């Protein structure tokens, strides 16, 4: 069985290594400050005992006040998983650091989120629309897009 790690304990551990990065971890997922997501990603991948080498699903949800970005990480070696979340507030000029350098599976998924939600990923090597064509107006998966 893939064991879901205790997010609260892990949050404390991450806060020791990268102060101020983990915001909360009490609802079964770990909420990370969006500025330090790339650092946390690196930490989760290289730290012994965690070794999250495999990023599966990555997506965004529009809650109108903020967008939530979800990362589901798995460690193939230790067979445990973790759901990581981060929030960006506002509707225009949104950006989050990219995690492509850590997990390449984020490549197309970040492009998809950029395409359908309009969230930019800083540091992504080739950030352009994935499913829709260049020049398409708007971001269809936003709740206010009709």
Partner 1 sequence: MSIQTEPFVLNIGPQHPSTHGVFRLRAVLDGEVVVNVEPVVGYLHRGIEKLAEGRTYTQNIPFTDRLDYLSSMTNNLAYCLAVEKLAGIKVPERAEYIRIICAEVMRISSHLMAVGFFLNDLGALMTPVLYMWREREKIVDMFEMVSGQRLLYNYMRIGGVSQDLPEEFLPAVKKFIAEMPRYIEEYDQLLAKNEIVLVRSKGVGILPKETAVSIGASGPVLRASGVKWDIRKADPYSIYDRFDFQIPTGETGDCYERYWVRMQEIRQSIKIVEQALKQIPEKGSVCTDVPQFFRPPRGEAYGYIEAPKGNLGFYIVSDGSIAPYRLHIFPPTLINITALQDMARGWKVADLIIIFGSMDVVLGEIDR
Does 141 sit near partner 1 (CB under 8 A)?
yes
Chain-centre distance for alpha carbon 112: 13
The answer to whether residues 132 and 113 touch, using CB atoms and an 8 Å cutoff, is no
Indicate whether 78 belongs to the interface with partner 1 (CB under 8 A): no
Task: Give the torsion sign (CA, 39, 41, 19, 88).
Answer: positive
User: Which C-beta is closer to partner 1: that of 8 or that of 68?
Assistant: 68
| Piece in contact with partner 1 (CB under 8 A), picked from 11-19, 33-41, 88-96, 126-134 | 126-134
127 is a site residue for partner 1 (CB under 8 A): no
**Chain centroid to CA 84:** 6
**What's the rounded Cα separation, in Å, for the pair 98 and 49?**
24
Task: Give the DSSP letter of residue 5.
Answer: P
Rule CB under 8 A: choose which of 67, 71, 103, 121 binds partner 1: 103
Residues at the site binding partner 1, with contacts judged by CB under 8 A? 1-2, 53-57, 59, 61-62, 70, 72, 76, 79, 83, 103-105, 107-109, 116, 129-133, 140-141
């Amino acid at each position: 069985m893939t064991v879901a790690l205790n997010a609260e304990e892990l949050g404390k551990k991450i806060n020791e290594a990268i102060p101020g990065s983990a915001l909360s971890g009490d609802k079964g997922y770990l909420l990370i400050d969006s500025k330090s997501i790339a650092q946390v990603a690196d930490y989760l991948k290289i730290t012994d005992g965690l070794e999250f080498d495999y990023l599966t699903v990555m997506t965004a949800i529009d809650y109108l006040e903020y967008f939530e970005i979800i990362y589901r990480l798995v460690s193939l070696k230790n067979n445990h998983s973790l759901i990581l979340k981060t929030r960006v507030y506002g509707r225009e000029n949104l950006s989050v650091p990219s995690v492509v350098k850590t997990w390449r599976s984020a490549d197309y998924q970040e492009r998809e989120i950029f395409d359908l939600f309009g969230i930019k990923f800083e540091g992504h090597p080739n950030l352009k629309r994935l499913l829709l064509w260049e020049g398409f107006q708007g971001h269809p998966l936003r709740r206010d897009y009709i």
